[in-house]
A = this chain, B = another copy of it.
Amino acid sequence: MKIRAGVFGATGYAGYELVQLLRRHPSAELVFATSEQSAGGWLSDSYPCLDDVALVRADEAPLGEVECAFCSLPHGASMATVRRAREAGVRVVDLSADFRLPDAAVYERWYKTAHEAPQLLAEAVYGLPELHREAIRGAQLVANPGCYPTSVILGCYPLAAQGLLEGGHVIVDSKSGVSGAGRSPSPTTHFCQVNESLAPYNVGHVHRHIPEMEQELSRLAGQPVRVTFAPHLVPVTRGMLSTLYVRVPPQHDAAALRRLYQETYAGEPLVHVLPEGTMATMSWATGTERCVISLHDAGVPGEAIVVSAIDNLGKGAAGQALQNMNVMFGLDETAGLRL
């Protein structure tokens, strides 16, 4: 008996990735895939694929035939669909930001949009299995984390959980591949704009992924953690690397931190802490669902640098969504992944 699943928003990068993963999943089955723009057509009109998938409008999706729905829609657009799926009794993994922040007022402040399904916020679980595995297991609605937060929270979790994040502050310098900007053409994603350049954007305390990071790190630390965040767009299709500058108690050098991280993540199938002398690079994570982490001394006691790499569409989006489904339905947590 396979888990029957549907994908809302199947022609975006993350949605298409999900379709691909689901079709190879040994214990899951793709029942429907939606696209407002391409409804009536085929997924192969947008992407090459041998075994084709028909696209339907979201409101035609046969919710009664699935046990799990993935919503890979833009923030704001996801809420209504999630609500409909939940009303049909379907368990949901939502890849948008709509259910990541439990407080609708905080959501509205950062996303400049009224929340249309605030009653569902209480049941939503933040879908980072390394932090919330038990809650995800029983969840009806999982809010899949953003790509930047995934790389940052996993890169800080052992520190925050052990109370080692001195000053309650992390400086995050992130570098992202262009697929993170979505599939809609814009001046920002034009090849000639991206190629042979590297561009910071939303520098400071303005990117919408900040409240997620601060929420999870503060929860772990038991005190407010503030994130200074500078994301950069780099000329690669997939991949994300975050360089984290932290202050720690002086006795914790890189070797000690490495041991802490290796212990913390010992049983985690998707987090890989590198040994001394090896540095996390983007390509070590690209095309996988892994988060790859390396620890480094910053030159003086009391400071450290953490490098955390993921594939923004893998552990940063579709791969983590599938991992969440696996946890929710009691499957092997890495079933269907590309490890």
| Residue A205 interfacial (CB < 8 Å) | yes
The listed residue (B173, B197, B230, B239) touching A197 by CB distance below 8 A is B239
What distance in Å separates the Cβ of A303 from its nearest Cβ neighbour in chain B?
6
Contact with B along A67-82 (1 / 0, CB 8 A): 0000000000000000
CB proximity to B under 8 Å, residues A64-99: none
A-B contacts, 17 listed (Cβ < 8 Å): A171-B245, A178-B191, A183-B190, A185-B189, A185-B190, A190-B190, A191-B191, A196-B286, A197-B236, A197-B281, A198-B241, A198-B281, A200-B281, A203-B296, A203-B307, A206-B299, A228-B299
Total A residues in contact with B, Cβ cutoff 8 Å: 61
Given contacts A237-B196, A339-B50, contact A226 B279 (CB under 8 A): no
The listed residue (B48, B190, B241, B300) touching A191 by CB distance below 8 A is B190
- Report the bound CA distance from A317 to B67 in whole Å: 41
| Residue A163 interfacial (CB < 8 Å) | no
| Residue A187 interfacial (CB < 8 Å) | yes
CB proximity to B under 8 Å, residues A188-208: 189-201, 203-206
CB proximity to B under 8 Å, residues A301-331: 303, 305, 307
Contact at B305–A230, with CB atoms within 8 Å? yes
Given contacts A235-B235, A245-B245, A298-B204, contact A283 B228 (CB under 8 A): no
What distance in Å separates the Cβ of A253 from its nearest Cβ neighbour in chain B?
11
- Report the bound CA distance from A279 to B202 in whole Å: 9
What distance in Å separates the Cβ of A187 from its nearest Cβ neighbour in chain B?
6
Contact at B191–A228, with CB atoms within 8 Å? no
Contact at B279–A203, with CB atoms within 8 Å? yes
User: Beyond A189-B192, A230-B305: 17 further Cβ-contacts under 8 Å?
Assistant: A13-B192, A171-B171, A173-B173, A185-B185, A185-B190, A191-B191, A191-B194, A191-B195, A191-B237, A193-B283, A196-B196, A196-B282, A197-B286, A199-B282, A200-B307, A203-B243, A235-B235
